[in-house]
Structure 1
Amino acid sequence: MPFKLDFKWLHTVRWKFLAAALASAALTAVILWAFYLLAHILITVPLLTGTMASVINRFGSVPVLVVLGGASFLFFYFLFSRGTIRRLEQLDDALRDMANGNLGAGALPPLRDELGQAAGSIDRLSRRLREYLERITAGLQALASGRFEYRIEVDRSYGDLAVIAESINAMAEQLDRSIRDERHAEKTKNDLITGVSHDLRTPLTSILGFLEVIEQDRYKDEVELRHYVNIAYEKSRALKKLIDDLFEYTRIGGGMPLAWTSLDLTGLLRQLAEEFVPSLEKASMSCRLSAPEAPLVIEADGNLLVRAFENLMTNAIAHGSTSPYVDIDIDRQEEIAVIRVVNYGDPIPAGDLPFIFDRFYRGDRSRTSGGTGLGLAIVKSIAEVHGGRVSARSDRSRTVFEIALPVARRS
């Protein structure tokens, strides 16, 4: 429940002072009346008659009564209000301590009246503020010790302190996210180095092995020599492709500027399908293109898009050769162009599907164009730098790779 400091006690203070004034006035009136009666008695006393007559004749009876009444009133007013004044001074001291940041001041003496209730309210307020500040301090200490997952409980009844707690929590969350991102980046870098080292070392080891056989003349005849040379040549080509793919991947991921231009997506993919006819025929396959009649124009970097679709086509041919078809479907969904490359080969294992766009990922078989482990990762990077996305789904009937790209260029 929100904490409320009740200020109704201020009305009580006014009434207390008014009551003190009324009581002082009443007692003053009684004293003046008593003095008036006493003066009539004392003036008959011979010893006092001259003195009292001299005072009355010199100052007058009214001024004497006024001075005496004023002094009596002030005396009784101070007497009756000093307790209230003392309590107000205590409340003022307590509020000054809070204003100076000293929330640990001693408790005020309890009373059963409204001032006592006000004192209790100030004590409770001070205690609640101190407890919440201790929570905030504990949160800051946790952050200082590296526990960025720590969160301060936010209680809206504390107003600005709750805003401070929220800000600290937001800062902790941002720090936690930054550290996790940094660790992920470090892990990604290490994984990249490990993957590159492995994929470079494998063909390089084969090349060196066959060149060593040739250099040491450990071949039988020219036919075996040419066989070894051909193997070293093919391994060198694979090594070059890996290096080219790695360069392309890092170049795209490094924020390379795009050569934006207007492209007819249907025409681009129709031309690409024609260029793949020799590869399709070699695999005893053909490509079926399904597209809307009207041109589907997007703004993109043509060279990069061609590279992405080439990788998907190469992947579809490599892993769909058990079926005679590769399908390319083009569709428009509002302001998004959707391109699907479909093959009907063996399905991608469900355990591999979430990771096939990771660089150098290989499940029980390679699902990347050319076998470098970077083909689909390059496709994902190209889609993302165009403000799009790429996804895949696979079952016993077909495997679909889908790229979604915005029709209008995102500035």
Structure 2
Amino acid sequence: MSASPNRPSRLFTFSWKNFLISAGILACAVVLCMLLSMADSRDGFASPIFVLAVLLISRFTDGYLFGLIASVLGVIGVNFIFTYPYWAFNFKITGYPLTFLTLLMVSVITSTLTTQAKQQEQLRVENEKEKMRANLLRSVSHDIRTPLTSIMGATSTILENPGLTQDEQRELLEDAHDEAQWLIRVVENLLSITRISDTQTAQITKEPEAAEEVLGEAVRKFRKRFQQIKVTVEAPDTLLLVPMDPILIEQVLSNLMENAAIHGETTTQVRVSVQKEGAFACFSVWNDGQHIPARELPTLFDGTIKHSDTAPGDGKRNMGLGLSVCMAIVGAHGGTMEAKNLDVGVEFTFRLPLSEEEFDEHP
């Protein structure tokens, strides 16, 4: 009940942005009519032009206010400027009331349809956010439970068995340390995707960064953790500057390499590369591990991979959260991402625009 009184006020709210849009469209309509009047002495062309102006204003402004104002100004302008006698009002013109009502109805109907369309799009976005939050909660609850259980088990064993040898204690502590590292990665992913998904407050700060340096930092951290896997790096000879948030893109690369090591199961090699492809920088992460099941490829990046498809009791088998984080970060940079099985191994590829203009034009 409390939302109803506020709705009309939102539909008839004044804003300078809408004012400038309306003024610009009306000015263009007036100029066009003047040019046509200089080329043709006959009347009648102004009405359809102002109808078009009302349609455009209703489409590109919020609510009804400026569409209604445009319809009134359009009728007045057609009467005063572009209908004989020129530069004078004549309310006795045949068909004048019909013209006024037509413009008014066009404005109201178009404004209603466009406002409803915008509201439906807003609802769709909100539903997508809720769906993503639900997937996050499901993924995080599963991914956190098993590592916590392992940490509790390892530490409890040490506390309750003082007679354990130093090597046995060290092995249990290393297991707890590894599980704690996994939890840190889960929390980092959760914070990143929450930041990206909150479009009302999130701002991606992008600066031109050397792609090779970001790639090298991610590889350095990966090698420290997965020393048994051979990593090769391929980068162009010339410096490639890419507008990005380097911390977030480094996280994307880290997630992809860790997925290759953990979920590839038989992975012994990882190749990370970056190259320029037209107006984009193309990053790729290849591994020689097992293929991704074909049924999982369509939902690979949306966090909906079912835990029933993974090894029982293995909290690290779900890669949905990490990959949904990657997709969210790349999408926030205006880029695209894909994964495919090759004859040998799996390759993940994402592309980032090389200019701010391309990012701004991205839907």
Counterpart residue number, 1:375: 322
Residue number among 336, 339, 348 corresponding to 2:292 in the alignment:
348
Structure 1 residues 392 and 320, CA, compared in 2 at 3 Å: closer, same or farther?
same
Structure index of larger Rg = 1
Structure 1 residues 369 and 394, CA, compared in 2 at 3 Å: closer, same or farther?
farther
Alignment of structure 1 residues 44-83 onto 2, 5 Å:
none
How far is the alpha carbon of 1:186 from its aligned partner? 3.1
How far is the alpha carbon of 1:396 from its aligned partner? 4.2
2:164 matched to 1:222?
Answer: yes
Counterpart residue number, 2:332: 385
Structure 1 residues 212 and 387, CA, compared in 2 at 3 Å: closer, same or farther?
same
How far is the alpha carbon of 1:348 from its aligned partner? 0.6
Structure 1 residues 206 and 292, CA, compared in 2 at 3 Å: closer, same or farther?
closer
Structure 1 residues 214 and 280, CA, compared in 2 at 3 Å: closer, same or farther?
closer
Contact kept in structure 2, 1:346 and 1:396, CA below 8 Å? no
How far is the alpha carbon of 1:202 from its aligned partner? 3.3
Stretches of structure 2 that go unaligned for 5 or more consecutive residues are: 1-101
Counterpart residue number, 2:256: 312
Structure 1 residues 230 and 323, CA, compared in 2 at 3 Å: closer, same or farther?
closer
Counterpart residue number, 1:333: 277
Partner amino acid for 1:222?
L
Structure 1 residues 241 and 307, CA, compared in 2 at 3 Å: closer, same or farther?
closer
> For 1:366-386, what per-residue CA distance to the aligned partner results, in whole angstroms no more than 9, with x for missing partners?
9x9996743222222221222
Partner amino acid for 1:293?
D
- Report how many residues are paired: 249
Contact kept in structure 1, 2:336 and 2:350, CA below 8 Å? yes
Counterpart residue number, 2:231: 286
> For 1:16-64, what per-residue CA distance to the aligned partner results, in whole angstroms no more than 9, with x for missing partners?
xxxxxxxxxxxxxxxxxxxxxxxxxxxxxxxxxxxxxxxxxxxxxxxxx
> For 1:322-374, what per-residue CA distance to the aligned partner results, in whole angstroms no more than 9, with x for missing partners?
465322333322211111211222111111112222237356349x9996743
Contact kept in structure 1, 2:158 and 2:169, CA below 8 Å? yes
Whole-Å separation in 1 of the counterparts to 2:175 and 2:213: 39
Contact kept in structure 1, 2:340 and 2:348, CA below 8 Å? yes
Contact kept in structure 2, 1:207 and 1:235, CA below 8 Å? yes
Per the normalisation by structure 2, the TM-score is 0.55
How far is the alpha carbon of 1:304 from its aligned partner? 1.9
> For 1:295-332, what per-residue CA distance to the aligned partner results, in whole angstroms no more than 9, with x for missing partners?
22222222222222122222233345646532233332
Counterpart residue number, 2:209: 263
Partner amino acid for 1:399?
V
Contact kept in structure 1, 2:139 and 2:318, CA below 8 Å? no
How far is the alpha carbon of 1:275 from its aligned partner? 5.4
Per the normalisation by structure 1, the TM-score is 0.50
Query: What secondary structure, in the 3-state scheme, does the structure 2 residue paired with 1:304 have?
Result: helix
Counterpart residue number, 1:189: 133
Contact kept in structure 2, 1:258 and 1:301, CA below 8 Å? yes
Residue number among 240, 252, 260 corresponding to 2:184 in the alignment:
240
Percent identical among aligned pairs is: 27
Partner amino acid for 1:286?
V
Alignment of structure 1 residues 8-23 onto 2, 5 Å:
none
Whole-Å separation in 2 of the counterparts to 1:257 and 1:176: 24
Contact kept in structure 1, 2:265 and 2:290, CA below 8 Å? no
Whole-Å separation in 2 of the counterparts to 1:226 and 1:288: 34
Whole-Å separation in 1 of the counterparts to 2:188 and 2:178: 15
How far is the alpha carbon of 1:265 from its aligned partner? 1.6
2:245 matched to 1:298?
Answer: no
Contact kept in structure 2, 1:387 and 1:405, CA below 8 Å? yes
Contact kept in structure 2, 1:206 and 1:232, CA below 8 Å? yes
